[in-house]
Structure 1
Amino acid sequence: MDTEAPHTQRGHSSPGEGEERPRFAFSTAGKPAAGRRASRRPAKGRATRGPLTWRRAGLLGVICTVFLLLFSNFVVQPFLIPSRSMEPTLQVGDRVLVNKLAYRFGDQPGRGDLVVFDGTGSFVRERPDANPVGVLLHGAASALGLAEPSDTDFVKRVVGVGGDDVVCCDAGGRVEVNGVPLDEPYLYPGDAPSKVPFRIVVPLGSLWVMGDHRSQSRDSRDHLGEPGGGMVPVEKVIGRADWIGWPVSRWGAVGGGHG
């Protein structure tokens, strides 16, 4: 009689009695894989974007300000109108956009253009150097259109250019340029073209300028007896006033008057 207990076969994957099942599984790469509830925490050192901080906001503000200053110094500058001398074309409080590229590539100011210029040496005398810090701060605010322009900056209309014979007035009370009377629809209603008689020949490289509100404008006529004779050197022109940017109700281009 065969007394040996019968041998029972079992698969390699079937644990026997009393054997513990393994508590981990193997990944496809052959390494123990974590359980299904593996932690998904971000790896250390991974950068996370936080909210906008005051430091970042300040840096962004500085960058924007520098960009605007550079843009206004070389391309387009807002100019706050401080007086009534250019009414009705420009009114007190208007902010005109001065095109600084208008005469930078060989073009010259023409009759009828509205130009912004530095009147130092022609409309105002040279002054001693002021506090440089104050001048810098005011210049920056003015360049952004937040403050009145320097008291040496003016905006006027070009009436005569170099070589022109400008006379006031003809028998009809109009200003003549080279013997041709000007049609000036931009004049302030009720104003005469000029109550000051004059006859001048504009030197080459210079401009004869006047305001549209002739009775309220101190312009070339008021400096006839001074050095320069009221003429504005072309090199002192900052740019051409092409658009009204503010207020919104007055948005639009500023057209020239006569050719």
Structure 2
Amino acid sequence: MSSVTERPVATPAARKPRRNIASALQGVAIAVGFAMLVGGFGLIALQYRPYRIPTTSMSPTLQIGDTVLARKTDGASVGRGDIVVFSEPLWGGATMVKRVVAVGGDTVACCDAGGHLTVNGVPVDEAYADERIGPGAAFSTTVPEGRIFLLGDSRSNSLDSRAHLDVASGTVAASDVVARVEGIAWPSARIMALPRTTAFDAVKGPKASKHGLLVPASYAAVGGGALVLLAGAAGWVVSFGHWVQRRRRG
């Protein structure tokens, strides 16, 4: 009598649960988002410092109470049109924020027939200023090398280089500059990157500086935080769905 040998029935290969794939994707998304969040905020913390605007001297560009973010600089790269943070001992030593309108070697004067500031004889159309300097405030001075001439955007309400013409022709040492303003961080309704001005581009020499990585770093930080939240929320939704299915089966 022949015997029948029973062969074991092959079991189908186990499929990788979809839940494990979803969990892995969620983990990757959270890791990427966290890296973007930390990297963006870290870059901003390393390169920028916050300053609060105490007066209306830079209005309408900067309002009283605004908190601005300024990129640290030694002043060597400052150009005409840059908004800078500085402290001048001969002006009282207070931390101030003004706009650079002339650099070493420039002759800056007020004003031409149209009320425009001129730099090396070139009229400057300063659209950011609240008003043109009036004819009663005429001046003309040549900026020594290594120094800068600064004005507030609120020309009728700013104690700037015009108020100190008897001290080094109203100029400030470029080395007194500690940072260059690139954006407004607070209040929330005014959060923005300040655009680079082209007002001085017609004048030969140092132009307004290009901005650093404030905008991309901010986008990275905000996008990273949003990605972490979305990935976490998606994971919670998937887990809740699996729990509902188990309850129905039970």
| TM-score category, normalised to shorter length | 0.5 to 0.7
Overall identity of the aligned pairs, in %: 44
Partner of 1:94: 66
2:85 to 80, 95, 116: 116
Which whole-Å deviations, capped at 9, do the CAs of 1:101-145 have from their partners, x for residues lacking one?
xx35x8521111000001212x226xxxxxxxxxxxxxxxxxxxx
1:222 paired to 2:163: yes
1:199 paired to 2:140: yes
Which whole-Å deviations, capped at 9, do the CAs of 1:48-106 have from their partners, x for residues lacking one?
xxxxxxxxxxxxxxxxxxxx9xx86x621110001000000000110000100xx35x8
Distance in 1, matches of 2:104 and 2:118, equals 15
Partner of 2:17: none
RMSD between aligned alpha carbons? 2.1
Task: Give the conservation status (yes or no) of the 8 Å contact 1:164–1:177.
Answer: yes
CA shift for structure 1 position 159: 0.5
CA shift for structure 1 position 206: 0.5
* SS at structure 2 position matched to 1:229: helix
Task: Give the conservation status (yes or no) of the 8 Å contact 1:206–1:234.
Answer: yes
1:252 paired to 2:192: yes
The code of the aligned residue for 1:180 comes to V
Q: How many residues of Structure 1 are paired with residues of Structure 2 in the alignment?
A: 157
Task: Give the conservation status (yes or no) of the 8 Å contact 1:168–1:174.
Answer: yes
Which whole-Å deviations, capped at 9, do the CAs of 1:128-186 have from their partners, x for residues lacking one?
xxxxxxxxxxxxxxxxxxxxxxxx11000010011111111111111110111001000
CA shift for structure 1 position 192: 2.6
1:77 to 23, 27, 49: 49
Q: Which runs of 5+ in 1 are unaligned?
A: 1-67, 126-151
TM-score of the two chains, using structure 1 as the length reference: 0.57
Q: Which runs of 5+ in 2 are unaligned?
A: 1-41, 201-250
1:241 to 176, 181, 191: 181
1:231 paired to 2:199: no
Distance in 2, matches of 1:173 and 1:89, equals 20
* SS at structure 1 position matched to 2:49: strand
Distance in 2, matches of 1:255 and 1:114, equals 11
Q: Which has the higher contact order (CA 8 A, sep 6+)?
A: 2
Task: Give the conservation status (yes or no) of the 8 Å contact 1:114–1:256.
Answer: no
* SS at structure 2 position matched to 1:116: strand
Partner of 2:125: 183
Distance in 2, matches of 1:167 and 1:92, equals 28
1:160 paired to 2:102: yes
CA shift for structure 1 position 235: 0.5
CA shift for structure 1 position 229: 2.4
Which runs of structure 1 show a deviation greater than 4 angstroms over 4 or more consecutive aligned residues?
none
